[in-house]
Each structure stands twice: as C-alpha cells, then as structure tokens.
Amino acid sequence: MMVDSSALLMPTSAKQLLRDDDSLLRQVFFNVLRHHHPNTANKVDVIYALSQAWCKSKDDGDFELLEKYLGNLKPEECILVASSFSHMLNLHNLTEEVANTQTERAGRMGELTLPTRSTNMSFIKLTNQNGVPAQKIYETLCSQTVELVFTAHPTQAFRQSLLKKYARVRGYLDELHNKRMSPYEKIELLEAIRAQVQAAWRTDEIRRQKPTPQDEMRHGLSYFQQTIMDMVPTFYRRVDTALANIGLPRLPLNHRLFEFGSWMGGDRDGNPNVTAGTTRDVVVLARLEAVNAYFQAVETLMFDLSIWRCSPELKALARRLAARAVAADPGRVAEERKKRNYADFWTPIAANEPFRVVLSHMRDRLWQTREVLHQCLINPQLSVRQALLDTDSYLDVQELFEPLHLMYTSLLSTGDESTANHKLLDTLRQVQTFGLSLMKLDIRQESTRHAEVIDAITRHLELGSFLAWPEEQRTSWLLGELAGRRPLFPPGIELSPDEAEVVTTFRTLAELPTDSLHSYIISMTRTASDVLGVVLLMRECGMTDLLKVAPLFETLDDLHNAPGTIQTLLGSEWYKGHISEHHDGVQECMIGYSDSGKDAGRMAAAWALFETQERIVAVAEQHGVRLILFHGRGGSVGRGGGPTHMAIRSQPPATIKGKLRVTIQGETIEQQFGEREVCFRTLDLYTSAVLEACLDPPSAALPEWRELMNQLSETSCKVYRSYVFQRPEFLEYFNLATPVGELGRLNIGSRPASRKQTSGIEGLRAIPWVFAWTQTRFHLPVWLGIGDALAEAVEQGKLPLLQAMYDEWPFFRGLLDLVEMVMAKADPKVTSMYDAKLVRPELQALGDELRAKFGATKAQVLAIVRQDELLEDPSNGASPELDEKIRLRAPYVAPLNVLQVQTLCNLREFDAAGSSGPRAGYQPSEAEIIELLSRDPHRDGKHPFQAAMDDCLMITIKGVAAGMQNTG
C-alpha cells in the first residue's frame, strides 16, 4: 500500500507549495492581527480551530460550539472577526492562484510530470501531435481568433485598493519561489509582504460610494498597460519557439490570435450614467493608452535599430523624410524646440541611420496624435475623427503598421533576422492586435428605448403610434424607410430627455473613429423591428459606416422565437444586402441566459440556448450568412478546472469554427489578467481551448438525446416555476431566508439593483437573484427542477440513456458537471441554519421541502455520473483538485455564514424593535470603537448598533462571495 495516491496526483510539491504559502500568509496575517488587536486574534484562533473541527467532523456538537462562541461576540468584535476571515480567505485564494502558476511553471520546466489534464498548454499539444499532422495544427492556429470582451461586473466586491495589495502579495510570493536571494533579500521580501498585508488589513474594505463607469474603464485600461500589452507578444513568441522546435515557421505577421473588446463605458442597458459623453471619453482614453505604448516602443526601437544597412525601399523612404525635415528647416527647428522633452535623439538624425530617421518621424506623429487626443478630452465638442484627420495624426492603423513592416522586411533582406525578430517583431504584433484603438467598444442598449424614439417620430408625422403598431406593420414600414433615402428627422421634434439621450448617443458614435467601435448590442430583443429600428436610427443620425447590430435574446420566449426573428431579418432582401455590403455577410448575435436562467431554471435556459444557437446558425446558413455567436459568461459560477475549456466544448458543434467571442467580467479580469504569469496562462487557456474545439470538435447530438432533453427541460422548467412563481409563500420565504433584501445596501457596481420597480421575482435582476442564494450556500437557481426532470426520466427507465448522454455529449456533461460542482459547494446544513434563525416556523416547511429536493437532485446526478460522492471521479483530474480547494476554504467560510445569520437576525429585530429593543443600549464609549463605527460618510445618525451590524453584514457578504469563487 503506497503512501496514499492523491499525494501523487496533485504532485507533492504543488500541494506542498499550497500548504507552505498558506501557512506563511496565515502567520503573517496573524502577526498583523495580534499586533493591532491581540485579544481578537486569540478569538479568531479559537474560531478557526472550532471551524476546522466542524469542517472535518461534520457533526452537530461541533457546529453548536462554533455558533455559541460566535454568538457571544460583541458587535465591534463581529466586524473584526468577519473582517479577519474575509482577509484570510482572500489570502488563501491567492495562494491557490500562486500554486497554480507555480505548478504550471514547474510543468513547463519539466520539473514535474503534471497529471495530464490540468493544463492543455498549446505547446505540448503542438509538439506531440496526437494523431493530428503538424501542418494541420499550424493551419488551424492560423485561422483561429479569440475575442475577449471586458465588462464591468455588478458584484465587483472588493475595492481596487485591496485587490491591488493582494496582487502585490501574489507577486512577492512568486519572487519567493523563483528568484535566488540572499538571506537579506529574503528578509526584505518578507517585510514587503507584511507591509502589504498590514496595509490591506488597515484599509476599510467596504466600498462607501459607487464607482463611476470611468472608474471601471480606467481599471480595465490598467490591465492592458501593466500586463496584456507585454504578455501578448511574449505569448506569440512562445508559440513561435514551439513551432520552430518542430520545424514549422512562425505565425504569419498578419494573423491575430486575440482581439480585445470592452463594454466599459459602452453598456448603457439600465445604467443611466453611461452617457454619450462617457462613451466618447472611454474611446479617447483607450486610444491614448495605445499611443502611449507605441510611443515608448518606438523610442526603444530607436536605440535598437542603429543599423546603417537597409533595403532600397527603406532608404528611399528615409531619404524622403530626411529631405522633408531639411526642407522645413527654420520653422521646424523652432517648432521642434517646442516639443522638447524627448528622452533622446532630438537633433536631426543622420541620414546614414535610416531606421532612426523613419522611427524619429513616427515618434513625432505619435506625439502629435497624443496631443490631439488630449485636446479631444479637454473639449468635448471637438469631433475626434475630424481632429485626428486635420492634424496629420495617426487615424488609420495601416499608416503605423507599414513603416514598421517596411523596416522588418528590410532587416530580413539584409540578413538581420535576429534583430528583425526581436523587439521589432513584438511591436508589429502589438500594432496588429491592439491597433490604434487598443480595444473595440461595444454599445449596448435596451430595445424599447429605440422604439420610443421612433414612436415619437411617427406620432410627430401623424403616422400614428409606432408602439401601437403590430409587428408586420413595423417591419414593413421600417424596411420601407430603410430602402428609401428620405430624411426622417423633422427639425424641432419634441423628445423626452431619455429619447434625446438615445439620439445624442447615435450622433456621438457618428463622429468617433470606426476602429474604436465593434458592434451595437440590443438587449431584450424581441422582434426583427428592434434590429431594423436601430439600423434606421444609426443612418438617420448621420453614421456613415454603420455598426454591426447584434440582437441579444434574453428571455426564454425571445430565445424560442429568435430563429423566427433572424429569419425575418435575413429574409428581407434589403437587410441581407446591407450586411453583405457593410459587414461582409456576417451577422453577430448574442445570447445570454442570465435572465432566462431566472425565469425558467438553468436546465431549460441552457437547453433553450443550445437549441437557439443551432437554429439561428441554421437559419443564417440557409441565407449564406455567417453568424457569429457572442457568449456572455453569466454569473460567477463558472466551473473549476477551466470553465472556458468546458464551456467551449459544450457549445453545439459547428458554432465555434475558429472564432470565439466571449465576455470577461470584472472580478475574473483581475484573476485572469492581474499578473504576468496568470495573464500568460489565460492566453494559453483560451488558445488551446479553441484549438482543441477545432481539431476534434465534439460529436453532434443524437435524436433521442434531444428528445429526452426536451422532456427534461420542460419538466424542470415546470417544477422550477411551480416554486418560484406559483408558490404564493415562496417570495416571502426568499426575502426572509436570504439577504436579498439587504443587498440593496451594498453599493455594488455602477447600475441600480432592479429594472423598473415591480416587486416580486419578475422585477428582480438575475444577478441579485443568483447572488442571494450563493450567500446561503444553496445555489437554488442552478439546480431547482433538474432533480424532478431526471427522476422522471429514470422512472421511465432511461438511466442508461442519461448516462450515455453524460459520457458522450459535452453539452449534457457540461451541464451536469456544473450542477455537480455547485452542489459540491452548497451546504444545506448552513442553509437550514438560515431558515432556523430567519424564517417564520410555518414557512420552514418550504425550506425543508427544498432541501429534500436538493438531496433528491444530488442522488439523481450521482446516479448518472456514476459516483458515490460529488467530485470524485479521477478521469477528469480537475475534480478531486476542486474538492481539495473547497475543503481547504471551508474553515474560513463557515464562520462567515454563521456570523451573517446572526447579523441578519439582529438587524431585523433591531428594525422591528427600533430604539426600544435590548440592543439600543449599545453605546460604545472608547474612541477606537466609535471611529470603527463611523467610517461610513453617509451614515448620518445611524444607531451605532445598526452601523456595526451593517458593516459586519457587508463584510460577510463579500467574504462568502470570495469563498465561493473559482480560481483558475
């Protein structure tokens, strides 16, 4: 009997690594805690020990001990204890990330034989050809592109200042592992770690006011400047090295493995403070960022390319430029003097350094471009595109690319390949990937906002009310208008401020550089007229080249008749002509199921999505139109061990075709791009996931799988709705058993909590709905209804069919793995604690009923995946690892849940009892505590007990969220 086998699977050192870092950071944190709050530190010690005991033994005796102990903490201690566990959890999470990267590095260095599953490094795949000829892989690589679109996420929980500090600690831990240091350097590094942990601990972790869209945009930008722009060329280079190693050439210069997009500052759906001005700002800011990066790259190249030999074409260009420099002599030197503070080379460059002559000229134009963009920022009524045109700045990326490419071919022609393929190649690839816009902005708005504008027009022209027309009349009218050229906007029309804002947005878009925009997304699209309306408005507001319009089908109904909508669109000759002329026959379409998940349950939503994708792709193919599907990765519960990988495999085959466009939400941006190694890893993850999806696409679904899938989603939907919408007492139960009511107090994200204030579930946005159940460790929206559907199928004796579907159908497997993973994170014991403390006894029957359903669902899932326990099958390596992660975090999360329940109790009693309750007597006198309770600038007169409980609640909510997130 060997030393038990899991040690070998998660190779000894990664596990060891995880454990060492974990205990190092925990020790550092405790020293900080003990230094500032000695007696709290002791309590945290005890709580941690009790929590660990319970997590190991799972028996009620230990749980009560834990509850009792937490129960008699004083309010100010609740804050500090909650805060301690939240910090420890975050520190623990980053040791997981470090362990991941370290394991991978070790794998890359060949120090460890990694269990084959976890990293599908494109290189290893590249280099050992499991059955695919090298040439084939090369072609696939040269025809695939991954578009990563950054969006701000609503539950952006932790303040940037904390995330930055943790990122630093992560960097220091990496140094600890990879750099050889003298004892003194090590001491200084440990001090640096301690300084960051202390600073994090002493920072108010609750965000006191709402971030603005520009806040979010700047954060997004900082990732490009700090990691992405460097790591993309590094990644390309690594691909080349691996290709060279098996005798294949470098990737062609003009191929893009990645494109970057963003919603930050473009997404105005239910977000009134994203205005036309905001959009313009973010476009200019992004271009500024790009120009800055190229400015530095050109300066570096000016040092490198001091070579005097070059190709005749380059010599000719250099001579032309030098002549121009000399011709404009007197004015130029004076004008040159004005732009004085180049780091180097501000005397005219000698002609026998052709590269520098050209680069020096490029530097001037970049400088010029930067000035113009500044001006655009300073005065908003300048038209960006016009300003760039008038001042001979860079507007078209080709003008930047060509001279660089000319230098590249020149170096190749004079036999200077090494120099050519060094910094110059990196710069060429940056220009290729990021262009002058850095990333392309998507505009997102809700369909009704456009209909109201058109309605204002038709009523003004006495054509009746557009909103009252049936769908056919709308489309035919719109198509009529679109086919004709008659101006539509009567001067002096009366518009409401909302309608005016829509029009201003279109006008602003009309004068932005086109390469800064990608497509216009219409959320809540129901019919074809929603799309045509936008095209009409774009044209009427003077946009010369119109954006691609991407409908977003969100509700189940809209999804069901999405194919019809697409059919209507592509059915009209005008529209088809329009997209083949303006968008070379590509129609983009976005499908997100966050809303459909809310009103039909996960299974029905996922299936509806799956079918919809197939159908609209089919519809598009009939019309010879290429349809690109845009995936919003909704909610934070992706799955461990490469959500991207599995998410991509579970798309219907033939919908990827080498082109993946996917969103990345706020928090995961930090995780996936916050640090260089992690960024490298992410680029690798996506490349290989798409590569694999192309090389051996998943097999198509069999008819009887689909049949059964229809039945499953119908039943699950019925059961889901019977609870969520038809059980009269469900809503009340929901509001009592979860902190959904108190979520409003978190100023989370820049957008208001609910769309147009209908009470009840319908009015609730998908995010808080899912988030509330995550807090109570129940994740109801994910599994509710699935159990019944599966049970029904099993009774019909279709278990073997279900098992076949799990084994062979990536879609079904992805779905069940998600449910399995979510259930592994769930803990009904904790959920029942919420009921016991917060829900009226007569409503607790519903709770017990739901938990019974949870158990039944779990049993069904286990039967299908043929396991006795969740997460235990070794074939996909990520599961035991995930299981390990959940277990390592559990002792940190449990106290946070217990504290949350107690805090909710206190808050609700306090709201009820008001100032006459027993707690009203809580009037702390020491300055230290009063300060602690008065950190909220808007607290104005909140009772100290209330203030303490609010803060404590906020912290536990963030903590639990951190405990539930996926790393990697």
CA–CA distance, 612 with 660 (Å, rounded to integer) = 17
Both structure tokens of 519: 């497509």
Q: How far is the CB of 928 from a copy of itself (least distance, A)?
A: 9
Query: Does residue 418 come out as left (phi exceeding 0), alpha (psi in the -120 to 50 range) or beta?
Result: alpha
Cα 89-94-95 angle, rounded to 5 deg: 95
Residue 551: strand, helix, or coil: strand
The conformation of residue 796, written as its DSSP 8-state character, comes to T
Q: Which of 590, 488, 467, 567 is nearest to 535 (CA)?
A: 488
Both structure tokens of 527: 């019919």
Q: Which of 295, 288, 283 is nearest to 366 (CA)?
A: 295
Both structure tokens of 100: 């991941």
CA–CA distance, 688 with 146 (Å, rounded to integer) = 10
CA–CA distance, 190 with 196 (Å, rounded to integer) = 10
CA–CA distance, 443 with 508 (Å, rounded to integer) = 12
Q: How far is the CB of 38 from a copy of itself (least distance, A)?
A: 11
Please, which residue, 324 or 374, has the CB nearer to a copy of itself? 374
Q: How far is the CB of 184 from a copy of itself (least distance, A)?
A: 5
Cα dihedral 934/92/43/838 (nearest 10): 70
Indicate if 153 belongs to the active site: yes
Q: Report yes or no: 762 and 726 within 8 Å, Cβ to Cβ.
A: no
Please, which residue, 248 or 307, has the CB nearer to a copy of itself? 307
Q: Report yes or no: 748 and 156 within 8 Å, Cβ to Cβ.
A: yes
Please, which residue, 214 or 774, has the CB nearer to a copy of itself? 214
Q: Tell me which residue has tokens 């009523």.
A: 459
Please, which residue, 187 or 461, has the CB nearer to a copy of itself? 187
Both structure tokens of 159: 């303040």
Both structure tokens of 143: 């025809």
- Give the DSSP H/E element, type plus range, for residue 566: helix 562-571
Q: How far is the CB of 319 from a copy of itself (least distance, A)?
A: 13
Q: How far is the CB of 661 from a copy of itself (least distance, A)?
A: 28
CA–CA distance, 777 with 687 (Å, rounded to integer) = 33
Cα 786-789-792 angle, rounded to 5 deg: 145
- Give the DSSP H/E element, type plus range, for residue 630: strand 626-631
The conformation of residue 267, written as its DSSP 8-state character, comes to B
Q: How far is the CB of 493 from a copy of itself (least distance, A)?
A: 31
The string of DSSP letters for 3-56 reads SPTHHHHS-HHHHHHHHHHHHHHHHHHHHHHHHH-HHHHHHHHHHHHHHHHHHH
Q: How far is the CB of 225 from a copy of itself (least distance, A)?
A: 8
Helix (H), strand (E), coil (C) string for 444-496: EEEHHHHHHHHHHHHHHCCCCCHHHCCHHHHHHHHHHHHHCCCCCCCCCCCCC
Residue 357: strand, helix, or coil: helix
Indicate if 718 belongs to the active site: no
Q: How far is the CB of 747 from a copy of itself (least distance, A)?
A: 12
Please, which residue, 457 or 669, has the CB nearer to a copy of itself? 669
Both structure tokens of 711: 């039945």
Give me the catalytic one of 15, 37, 125, 153. Answer: 153
Please, which residue, 379 or 757, has the CB nearer to a copy of itself? 379
Helices 12-36 and 183-201, packing angle to 10 deg: 60
Please, which residue, 161 or 710, has the CB nearer to a copy of itself? 161
Q: Which of 262, 966, 271 is nearest to 662 (CA)?
A: 262
Q: How far is the CB of 353 from a copy of itself (least distance, A)?
A: 8
Q: How far is the CB of 710 from a copy of itself (least distance, A)?
A: 49
CA–CA distance, 943 with 953 (Å, rounded to integer) = 15
Q: How far is the CB of 413 from a copy of itself (least distance, A)?
A: 13
Q: How far is the CB of 355 from a copy of itself (least distance, A)?
A: 10
Please, which residue, 145 or 275, has the CB nearer to a copy of itself? 275
Q: Which of 210, 213, 219 is nearest to 265 (CA)?
A: 213
Please, which residue, 235 or 854, has the CB nearer to a copy of itself? 235
CA–CA distance, 273 with 271 (Å, rounded to integer) = 6
Please, which residue, 414 or 844, has the CB nearer to a copy of itself? 414
Please, which residue, 414 or 876, has the CB nearer to a copy of itself? 414
Q: How far is the CB of 357 from a copy of itself (least distance, A)?
A: 13
Q: Report yes or no: 386 and 289 within 8 Å, Cβ to Cβ.
A: no
Q: Report yes or no: 663 and 153 within 8 Å, Cβ to Cβ.
A: no
Please, which residue, 416 or 511, has the CB nearer to a copy of itself? 416
Report CA-CA distances (Å) from 843 to 776, 847, 963.
17, 7, 28
Q: What length is written for the chain?
A: 968
Q: Report yes or no: 605 and 716 within 8 Å, Cβ to Cβ.
A: no
Give me the catalytic one of 440, 583, 598, 958. Answer: 598
Q: Which residues belong to the active site? A: 153, 598
